Structure formats: structure tokens, C-alpha cells
């Protein structure tokens, strides 16, 4: 996967809480059998009417906002485990999602696709939204090595959590599957352990 | 210090620790379906490798399949292609497929347990968040993304961080007319859609113990709706009796060995949980959701609440989508559709309950009511008991197994602006179709709404 190290970018604000993966990518688009092209259907039903015309009041259709960072209300990515949600967000062009709380499965899917979930405090999220509201051209600086996110204009910053293993993977573009495949012998040894053999597992 | 059942199972499945705190854990059973697997199989092809443990991989087609005329080719081209891709992948990689036309086909989380594939102490995954259902058997079962599906196909393992432990105890006796679905909707309303994130839940208490396996599956199924990684119920005699004799259940000496192990699967009395909740079963009423996430639920007797806290934007948006207002009651609300189905509630006990209620009655003329059994085996059982006839005579459309209107990937969609009382697990915007308005409830509440043409309190309704 594409490695992630640092990013300085303007951000798109989505101050809605509990954004679920059905909104991010509706079920009818899950019929695809490849990983490409999901970006065009990102937030499809919030972005476009039934006839395909863009909805003026949705932030992705507002030319005032742009950038590679999505800032969203708490509990982002809840609901279905569809990894297609992470593919859609990344394919659209976002490399970072900032929120005060991420759903578990979405967080894992994002990390497996080079999309960095940055979890900040409620207060800092509020500060970011306010900064963007005052000035849509506000930029955020995200540094994975130092686990820091900064509002470029004011210098206000916070550190964000990330599992040390996933951090290494993201910095280097490593996939879990390579690591797992390298453990084949260890896995076979585990399978042969007496308890498991007795249970016929 | 004592261990929780969750930790006992997790510890027994750690293949190796990963530096920094995560674990490589072994997966006993991997269920796959047509929607989240194609890219995973292509990933294996690109690496020129096969499926590592074929015997532990079980496939079915459920999300995309039509629920009528399953013996004919699927009409919708993308759905047809995706289901055909699963057939091709299972052939190429030598995986057991209970697909369309097979006597064991059905919703993945219905067929696993009914075939005796799901057993206590197992780790079970699937590219579907309602994999938590299998936790009812005392398993660590959870949903994964397509990349992780590929990882499990390749290595039968996953890299995971151990979630924190939560115990939710429900003691006491349920009122008549109140069921497992109401218990879990009640719990999620209390904890919120994010209240369980980062945790794995153990459901305990006398009200949980009193539930059948199907009731426990309903509860564990919706663990994900409060954000939990999964949820389980420690196995007991109810569990063992359910499994015994099923198609792939262990037999003879293997059964005895398995049973001896299963009987060690309980939380030690001095085990410590990171968070605990306690609820009284008597406080639970039939529940209905009013908003656009499963945590936005109320007792049938309660009015819709106003927004809480500072940020009311999301709450207001939700109510606007649903066409509802704070202070309004859902009791008496006219509805247009009823969907009885999904991995939450589509098993034989649910169908029996609905049939007993609607027998000799007719659905309201303006309501479309659909019953989708969870599997071919459930459908066959229902037919042998005459349930299909009873439902049809009441005006309900008895269809063929699949995920159907839970997420409307096939033709079973709810039209925009119309209300559907649904026994499924999600009421997100557009879940059942763009603009569809979903009200989650128990099978009995759904059946009663179909007959009355509006939402009623089943406790006040006469039972025939």
C-alpha cells in the first residue's frame, strides 16, 4: 500500500456525528468486484440527487472547501464492515480522516489502505472545525512519525494515538499479509499443538 | 487472578505477539460471501498462492441474491456477476460453497450455527459486521474488511489488538410480549452507537441465560451496533443441546472431548472487566427506533426525545430524514411496509411467533408485508409446520432466503419516504433504499404493525 509520512493540506469539514459506512458508500455500489473507482460514489446519496445532479448544500460540492484531509464528527465509520468505505475515501483523494472517535472496523480498514485515521479530543476537533469555518483555506499539518496534528495557522497541536505496529506499516507501506505469510512455520506449529489436535479443530 | 471467557479464548488463539502490543491470532472458522470476497481471491491470484486452510473456509451467497425465483438466473447483471464470481472462486480455490440452489444456502450467520459449524471456544470471522452473531455460542466472532479476508484466506490468521472487556448483565424476567430483540435495542439505546467501541462484550445474567440459542444470536448479532468488536454468551446446557446432532457437530469421542473443553469456557468469579453494566429485565418494554442509528431507540410507551447536548445538527438531520418530531409518539404511527427477516431475526422461532400472531387475521390493506426465512433449512422447517400457508393467508409474502431488505442490495427495497417496521439491525439513512424510513423492532412488533397498519404495543394486543 501507499506509505504515509507527512501531509500539509486544507481540509473538508463534515460536522456530522455517527457517519456510517452506508452513507460513505451505499450498498448498491458494493457489487463491484475490483478495488478501483469507488471515489466517484463517495457519499453518493448525500452528494447527488436521484437524477445525478450535485446537491448544492453538501460540502463536497462546495468549491470553498478542498484538500486531502476530511474532518468529521465523532463515531466516524460506524456500521457495516465494508472496506469499500475506506477505498472510496482514499480513491476520492483523502489521505487523512480526523475525528474525535472512530469505529473499530473502519479504523482497521483505513489503516490497511494507507488512509490515516487521526483521533483528537472533542475540544481539539471543535477547534479545527472553528478554524475552518473562520477560514476555509486553513491548513492542517499531520506528521505520522511524531504522531502530531497541527492547525498550521495558529500552531495549536495535539498528538494522536496509533498502534506501533500499524505505524511502522503505514510509514513504510507494508501490508499485514506479507508479515503473516512470513510466519507460516509458526502458524503450522501452533496448529499442531496437542490441545488443538485433541479437540479435532 | 481469574480470567474472563473472552481472555481464555483469545489467549488460546495467540500464535505470536507482535511488537507494540498487537497479536497474531489464529482463526478457526472463516465464513465468506459474494460481496466482500472477490477482491480477496484476486489478491491471492496476484500472489500466486492458494487458500491456506480450505476445510476451515465456508461460503454462501446471501447479500445479493433474489428472494423470488432463485431457481432462475439472477436478473440484475452486477448481482449475477458477483454471485457467479463466488462460484468461480470457490471452484478455483476448492472451497465448500452452499450457494444458490444448495439445500444449506442462506444468510451466512444463520447457516453456520444451524449446521453445527459454529462452536464454543472458536475464533470466527467473516467479511460482514454481523459476524458477532456467532458469539452466542461462546465464540470470539467479529467482522473484517476485504483485505483481512485475503489475509485469513492466505494464512488463517489476523493481526489484531486485544479489545477491552465489558460485561452487560441483564437479570430478572421479561414481561410478556418482550423479547431478545427488545433487550438488545434497550441496551444500545442506553449505551449509544459508540458505547461499546474498543470493547468485547460478555452478556450475562438470568434473563440472558433464559434465552434460547436463537434469542442469544439476536442479541450478539447487534453487538456491532453499539460499536463493540463482538459479543458473546458463555456456553451452557442450552448451547450444548442446540449443537448436538447437527450436520457438522462433533460426534462420539470427539463430542466428549469438545464438551469437556466447552465446560471450561466461563468467566472466573474473580475475573475483572474494564466496564460493567447491569439492567433489570422488568424495565424493558417493546422497543422501537425513531432515528437513523440503532442507538436512537425508545420504549413503545415513550415519546421521541429532544436533542441532547450542544451539537444538535446530527440529531435534527436524523429526525428530518425520518419525518418525525421530538415529543411525537411512535405508537399509532401509520406504516407502509413490514420486513421480517435478516440475520437478526429470521430463524424458525421468529417465524413461529409471527405465524401464531397472524393466524386467522389479515394484514392491513395498505401494508406490504414480507417474510424472508434465514436459510433453506429454516424455510423447509417453516413449510413442514404450515407456517408459509398461515403467513400467506394473512397476506404476507413468504419469500426465499437471503439478506433481502435488510440492506436492499437485491430488488427488495423500501421506497423513499415510506415507513418500514423491520426486524433487521440497521436504520441508517437509505439503508433499505434511498429515502427509506426504517423502524427497527422485534418480530412480534413487526407482525402486529402489519395487521394493524400502524405501530402498536404488542402487550396491549389480543393474542389469538
Sequence-ordered list of residues with C-beta below 8 angstroms from that of B207, at least 6 positions apart, any chain = B170, B171, B172, B173, B174, B183, B281
Give the mean pLDDT of chain A. 95
Whether B263 and chain A come into contact, CB under 8 Å, resolves to no
Tens-digit pLDDT profile for residues B33-83: 999 999 999 999 999 999 999 999 999 999 999 999 999 999 999 999 999
Which residue in chain B is spatially nearest to A126 when comparing CA positions?
B311
Q: How many CB atoms are located within 10 Å of the residue A37 CB?
A: 12
Q: Which residue has the cell 439491525?
A: B425
Whether B173 and chain A come into contact, CB under 8 Å, resolves to no
Beta strands in B7-106 (DSSP E): 14-17, 23-26, 29-32, 57-60, 96-98
Pick from B85, B147, B431: which is nearest to A83 by CB?
B147
Read off the pLDDT of each residue in B1-13 and give the average, rounded to a whole number: 96
Whether A165 and chain B come into contact, CB under 8 Å, resolves to yes
Whether B255 and chain A come into contact, CB under 8 Å, resolves to no
CA distance B197 to chain A (A): 6
User: What is the predicted ipTM?
Assistant: 0.95
Digit-by-digit pLDDT tens for chain A (201 residues) are 989 999 999 999 999 999 999 999 999 999 999 999 999 999 999 999 989 999 999 999 999 999 999 999 999 999 999 999 999 999 999 999 999 999 999 999 999 999 999 999 999 999 999 999 999 999 999 999 999 999 999 999 999 999 999 999 999 999 999 999 999 999 999 999 988 876 666
pLDDT for A200: 62
CA distance B334 to chain A (A): 26
Using the predicted structure, report yes or no on whether residue B177 has a pLDDT greater than 70: yes
B interface test, pick of A52, A83, A114, A179 with most B CB neighbours within 10 Å: A83
Tens-digit pLDDT profile for residues B376-412: 999 999 999 999 999 999 999 999 999 999 999 999 9
Which residue in chain B is spatially nearest to A17 when comparing CA positions?
B314
What is the model's pTM? 0.97
Using the predicted structure, report yes or no on whether residue B133 has a pLDDT greater than 90: yes
Read off the pLDDT of each residue in B362-384 and give the average, rounded to a whole number: 98
Query: Across the interface, do B78 and A31 touch by the CB < 8 Å criterion?
Result: yes
Q: How many helices (H) and strands (E) does chain B have?
A: 15, 19
Using the predicted structure, report yes or no on whether residue B89 has a pLDDT greater than 60: yes
Read off the pLDDT of each residue in B218-239 and give the average, rounded to a whole number: 98
Chain B hits for A183, Cβ within 8 Å:
15-16, 24, 155, 157
Whether A17 and chain B come into contact, CB under 8 Å, resolves to yes
B interface test, pick of A16, A17, A34, A185 with most B CB neighbours within 10 Å: A17
Whether A198 and chain B come into contact, CB under 8 Å, resolves to yes
Read off the pLDDT of each residue in B93-110 and give the average, rounded to a whole number: 97
Whether A182 and chain B come into contact, CB under 8 Å, resolves to no
- The 8 Å CB, 24+ separation contacts for B315-320 are B315/B291, B317/A16, B318/B291, B318/B292, B318/B293, B318/B429, B319/B290, B319/B291
Query: Across the interface, do B428 and A23 touch by the CB < 8 Å criterion?
Result: yes
Whether A22 and chain B come into contact, CB under 8 Å, resolves to yes
Q: In percent, how much of chain B has pLDDT > 90?
A: 97
CA gap A86, A112 in Å, rounded = 9
pLDDT for B309: 79
CA distance B366 to chain A (A): 26
pLDDT for A201: 62
Which residues 112-131 of B have a C-beta within 8 angstroms of A? 122, 127-129
Sequence-ordered list of residues with C-beta below 8 angstroms from that of B91, at least 6 positions apart, any chain = none
For the ranges A109-118, B213-222, B303-312, which has the lowest average pLDDT? B303-312
Cα end-to-end distance, chain A, whole Å: 34
Which is more confidently placed, A50 or B30? B30
Pick from A104, A177, A187: which is nearest to B198 by CB?
A104
Whether B143 and chain A come into contact, CB under 8 Å, resolves to yes
DSSP assignment string, B334-389: B-SEEEE-TTTS-SHHHHHHHHHHHTT----TT-EEEE--SBHHHHHHHHHTTHHH
A interface test, pick of B36, B108, B157 with most A CB neighbours within 10 Å: B157
Using the predicted structure, report yes or no on whether residue B464 has a pLDDT greater than 60: no
Query: Across the interface, do B81 and A31 touch by the CB < 8 Å criterion?
Result: yes
Phi then psi for B287, rounded to 5 degrees? -110, 150
Which residues 81-120 of A have a C-beta within 8 angstroms of B? 81-84, 86, 101-105, 108-109, 112-113
Read off the pLDDT of each residue in B78-104 and give the average, rounded to a whole number: 96
Pick from B35, B157, B197: which is nearest to A30 by CB?
B35
pLDDT for A194: 87
Chain A hits for B144, Cβ within 8 Å:
81, 105, 108
Q: In percent, how much of chain B has pLDDT > 70?
A: 100
Alpha helix positions (H), B224-347: 237-243, 252-262, 313-322
pLDDT for B308: 85
B157 exposed, middle or buried (CB, 10 Å; 0-12, 13-18, 19+)? buried
Read off the pLDDT of each residue in B285-305 and give the average, rounded to a whole number: 98
pLDDT for A197: 72
Read off the pLDDT of each residue in B92-109 and give the average, rounded to a whole number: 97
Using the predicted structure, report yes or no on whether residue B100 has a pLDDT greater than 80: yes
Nearest Cα to Cα of residue A92 among A119, A118, A61: A61
Chain A hits for B428, Cβ within 8 Å:
20, 22-23, 79
Whether B23 and chain A come into contact, CB under 8 Å, resolves to no
Cα B289-B413-A31 angle, rounded to 5 deg: 110
Positive or negative CA dihedral for B59, B62, B65, B66?
Answer: positive
Contact B229, B137 (CB under 8 A): no
**Residue B402 three-state SS:** coil
Phi then psi for B266, rounded to 5 degrees? -150, 160
Using the predicted structure, report yes or no on whether residue B165 has a pLDDT greater than 60: yes
Whether A147 and chain B come into contact, CB under 8 Å, resolves to no
Query: Across the interface, do B36 and A82 touch by the CB < 8 Å criterion?
Result: yes
Whether B250 and chain A come into contact, CB under 8 Å, resolves to yes
Instruction: Specify the DSSP element, H or E, that contains B203.
Output: strand B199-204
Which residues 67-86 of B have a C-beta within 8 angstroms of A? 78-79, 81-82, 85
A150 exposed, middle or buried (CB, 10 Å; 0-12, 13-18, 19+)? middle
Using the predicted structure, report yes or no on whether residue B462 has a pLDDT greater than 90: no
Nearest Cα to Cα of residue B115 among B143, B94, B130, B137: B137
Query: Across the interface, do B157 and A112 touch by the CB < 8 Å criterion?
Result: no
Whether A50 and chain B come into contact, CB under 8 Å, resolves to yes
Amino acid at each position: 500500500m501507499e506509505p504515509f509520512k507527512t501531509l500539509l493540506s486544507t481540509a473538508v469539514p463534515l460536522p456530522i456525528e455517527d457517519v456510517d459506512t452506508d452513507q460513505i458508500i451505499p450498498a448498491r455500489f458494493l457489487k463491484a468486484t475490483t478495488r478501483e473507482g469507488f471515489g466517484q460514489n463517495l457519499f453518493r446519496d448525500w452528494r447527488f440527487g436521484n437524477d445525478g445532479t450535485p446537491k448544492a448544500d453538501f460540502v463536497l460540492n462546495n468549491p470553498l472547501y478542498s484538500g486531502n484531509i476530511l474532518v468529521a464528527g465523532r463515531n466516524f465509520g460506524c456500521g457495516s464492515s465494508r472496506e469499500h468505505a475506506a477505498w472510496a475515501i482514499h480513491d476520492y483523494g483523502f489521505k487523512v480522516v480526523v475525528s474525535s472517535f472512530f469505529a473499530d472496523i473502519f479504523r482497521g480498514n483505513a489503516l490497511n489502505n494507507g488512509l490515516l485515521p487521526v483521533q483528537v479530543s472533542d475540544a481539539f476537533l471543535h477547534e479545527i472545525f472553528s478554524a475552518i469555518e473562520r477560514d476555509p483555506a486553513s491548513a492542517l499539518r499531520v506528521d505520522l512519525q511524531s504522531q502530531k496534528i497541527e492547525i498550521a495557522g495558529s500552531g495549536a497541536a495535539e498528538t494522536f494515538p496509533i498502534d506501533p505496529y500499524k505505524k511502522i506499516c503505514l510509514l513504510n507501506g507494508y501490508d499485514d499479509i506479507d508479515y503473516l505469510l512470513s510466519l507460516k512455520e509458526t502458524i503450522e506449529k501452533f496448529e499442531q499443538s496437542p490441545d488443538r489436535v485433541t479437540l479435532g479443530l | 487472578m481469574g480470567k474472563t471467557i473472552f481472555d481464555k479464548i483469545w489467549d488460546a488463539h495467540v500464535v505470536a505477539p507482535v511488537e507494540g502490543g498487537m497479536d497474531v491470532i489464529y482463526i478457526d472458522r472463516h465464513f465468506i460471501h459474494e460481496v466482500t470476497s472477490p477482491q480477496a481471491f484476486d489478491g491471492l491470484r496476484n500472489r500466486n498462492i492458494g487458500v491456506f486452510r480450505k476445510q476451515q473456509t465456508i461460503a454462501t451467497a446471501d447479500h445479493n441474491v433474489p428472494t423470488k425465483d432463485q431457481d432462475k438466473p439472477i436478473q440484475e447483471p452486477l448481482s449475477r456477476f458477483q454471485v457467479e464470481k463466488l462460484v468461480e472462486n470457490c471452484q478455483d480455490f476448492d472451497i465448500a460453497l452452499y450457494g444458490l440452489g444448495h439445500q444449506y444456502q442462506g444468510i451466512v450467520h444463520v447457516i453456520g450455527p444451524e449446521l453445527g459449524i459454529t462452536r464454543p471456544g472458536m475464533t470466527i470471522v467473516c467479511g460482514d459486521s454481523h459476524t458477532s452473531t456467532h458469539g452466542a455460542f461462546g465464540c470470539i466472532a467479529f467482522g473484517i474488511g476485504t483485505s483481512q479476508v485475503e489475509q485469513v484466506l492466505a494464512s488463517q490468521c489476523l493481526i489484531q489488538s486485544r479489545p477491552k472487556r465489558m460485561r452487560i448483565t441483564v437479570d430478572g424476567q421479561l414481561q410478556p410480549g418482550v423479547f431478545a430483540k427488545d433487550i438488545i435495542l434497550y441496551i444500545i439505546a442506553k449505551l449509544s452507537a459508540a458505547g461499546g467501541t474498543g470493547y468485547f462484550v460478555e452478556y450475562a445474567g438470568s434473563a440472558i441465560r433464559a434465552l434460547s440459542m436463537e434469542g442469544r444470536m439476536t442479541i450478539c448479532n447487534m453487538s456491532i451496533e453499539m460499536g463493540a468488536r463482538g459479543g458473546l454468551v458463555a456456553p451452557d446446557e442450552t448451547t450444548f443441546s442446540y449443537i448436538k446432532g447437527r450436520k457438522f457437530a462433533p460426534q462420539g469421542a470427539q463430542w466428549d472431548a469438545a464438551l469437556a473443553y466447552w465446560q471450561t469456557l466461563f468467566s472466573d468469579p474473580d475475573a475483572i472487566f474494564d466496564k460493567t453494566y447491569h439492567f433489570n429485565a422488568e424495565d424493558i418494554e417493546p422497543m422501537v427506533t425513531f432515528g437513523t442509528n440503532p442507538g436512537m431507540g425508545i420504549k413503545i410507551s415513550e415519546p421521541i426525545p429532544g436533542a441532547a447536548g450542544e451539537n444538535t445538527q446530527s440529531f435534527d438531520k436524523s429526525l428530518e430524514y425520518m419525518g418525525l418530531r421530538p415529543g411525537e409518539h411512535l405508537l399509532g404511527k401509520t406504516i407502509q411496509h413490514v420486513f421480517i427477516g435478516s440475520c437478526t431475526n429470521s430463524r424458525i422461532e421468529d417465524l413461529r411467533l409471527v405465524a401464531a400472531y397472524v393466524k386467522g387475521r389479515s394484514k392491513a390493506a395498505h401494508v406490504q408485508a414480507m417474510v424472508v426465512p434465514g436459510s433453506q433449512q429454516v424455510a423447509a422447517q417453516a413449510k413442514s409446520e404450515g407456517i408459509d400457508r398461515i403467513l400467506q393467508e394473512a397476506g404476507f409474502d413468504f419469500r426465499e432466503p437471503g439478506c433481502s431488505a435488510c440492506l436492499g442490495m437485491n430488488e427488495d427495497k423500501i421506497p423513499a419516504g415510506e415507513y418500514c417496521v423491520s426486524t433487521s439491525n440497521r436504520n441508517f439513512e437509505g439503508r433499505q433504499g434511498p429515502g427509506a424510513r426504517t423502524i427497527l423492532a422485534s418480530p412480534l412488533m413487526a407482525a402486529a404493525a402489519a395487521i394493524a397498519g400502524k405501530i402498536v404495543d404488542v402487550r396491549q394486543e389480543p393474542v389469538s
